[in-house]
Structure 1
């Protein structure tokens, strides 16, 4: 009697077919989530690249050192605006060029400011070092000009020598950006897997019900 009411091979085949469908659905959901996550990352990179378009056209550097005798007293710097929009609240100073080797140069020097630098203009100035250095020790490749400014969209940037511009973000904006990014990832991972888990439970219930009905039908036929 028990052997007669046991599930047949066709029932197992249908169950395995349901399991295969479940595996394929799982793979499709995971692939969709990963693809959407990649799309979010690409769009964020494109947004950051677009935001830095003007900042990349702001060039700062050291033209020459102010050498008096065998001592270096300061540096002549410049900031050039090659973009089509003005920059605001420009701050410039001299720092150590960390790409250079062999010299330890204390860079945190005098600061100069400018309210507006119009498109196509170059602002030049001279900064005194806080200390004097030997001309045999400190050369032009040991120092760099650093600048902070606001672009035409009100975003604040920092450039140092030939390095790429870096966005200066307030703490609240960073926190908001982190929360936004975390929420995006969680949303990508949560909704598809909630849907997947619902499908798993539904298919499990359907397979169990199907096998129970098959057993009942065979039992009725034997009666």
Structure 2
């Protein structure tokens, strides 16, 4: 549970006031129960010593409260700094992911049927990308998976192609079918983070599952499946 500075100060202040009230009650009880005369009557020096002890307790409580408030404030500042740093790093990683994009989408149409699709993937990052896969989504929402490539070097590109199985009927306008199709791209960057881009929109992180990745690479020799 995160507490802001104001709430923390209120809690500390309430604790100090509660302890102060308790000590005042004890002092009042001592005064009321002390004998008015006789050998057991407290001397002035006894009262001075008692009130000095109470003052010392008050001072200790105030010091402890101040130290606790300072500690909580420092922890809050440290947490905010860590969150700001994580957000900055996340933004930088997302900007680098935007340097990978799909272009030159094409369809192979014959006899009123779509036989295959293709797209070119560009990597403008300064590091290679791995397990590059994707699909071409047609105007009606159907997708033609593209055969993956293992990696694309920095500044390089790869032409991904994939057959339509089974063949998909064309709308009758091959140019419209191609112009309104979009590319869905997935890749893994050099840090092991997998990304997904739909029609070159903002990249989205894909949750990392090391066991699933290793199992699929070893058993199927293909990029890890992506949860939808």
Give the match's secondary structure for 1:127.
strand
* Residue number in structure 2 paired with 1:122: 157
Q: Which structure has the bigger radius of gyration?
A: 2
| Aligned partner (choices 192, 196, 200) of residue 159 of structure 1 | 196
**Which ranges in structure 2 are unaligned for 5 or more consecutive residues?**
1-32, 36-41, 212-228
Name the CA distance, whole Å, in 1 between partners of 2:204 and 2:80. Answer: 25
| Aligned partner (choices 132, 137, 147) of residue 168 of structure 2 | 132
Name the CA distance, whole Å, in 1 between partners of 2:193 and 2:142. Answer: 25
| Aligned partner (choices 62, 68, 71) of residue 26 of structure 1 | 68
- Superposed, 1:175-214 pairs within 5 Å as none
TM-score (norm 1): 0.54
1:41-98: per-residue Cα shift (whole Å, max 9, x none)?
A: 23333444455564331112462444557655543312011123333342232347xx
Name the CA distance, whole Å, in 2 between partners of 1:167 and 1:27. Answer: 40
Name the CA distance, whole Å, in 1 between partners of 2:210 and 2:125. Answer: 28
| Aligned partner (choices 80, 102, 123) of residue 122 of structure 2 | 80
Residues 1:2 and 2:40 are matched in the alignment = no
Residues 1:170 and 2:209 are matched in the alignment = yes
Name the CA distance, whole Å, in 2 between partners of 1:95 and 1:28. Answer: 57
| Aligned partner (choices 41, 56, 65) of residue 83 of structure 2 | 41
TM-score (norm 2): 0.53
**Which ranges in structure 1 are unaligned for 5 or more consecutive residues?**
97-102, 173-223
Q: CA deviation at 1:28?
A: 0.8
1:12-31: per-residue Cα shift (whole Å, max 9, x none)?
A: 44433333222222211111
Residues 109-118 or 11-20, more deviating: 11-20
Name the CA distance, whole Å, in 2 between partners of 1:88 and 1:171. Answer: 15
1:102-150: per-residue Cα shift (whole Å, max 9, x none)?
A: x76233x333122342332332244333452552898567643233334
| Aligned partner (choices 186, 196, 213) of residue 148 of structure 1 | 186
Name the CA distance, whole Å, in 2 between partners of 1:16 and 1:83. Answer: 62
Name the CA distance, whole Å, in 2 between partners of 1:36 and 1:168. Answer: 27
Q: Which has the higher contact order (CA 8 A, sep 6+)?
A: 1
- Say whether the 8 Å CA contact 2:119–2:183 is kept in structure 1: yes
Give the match's secondary structure for 2:98.
helix
Q: 1:39 to 1:141 in 2, by over 3 A?
A: farther
Name the CA distance, whole Å, in 2 between partners of 1:104 and 1:12. Answer: 81
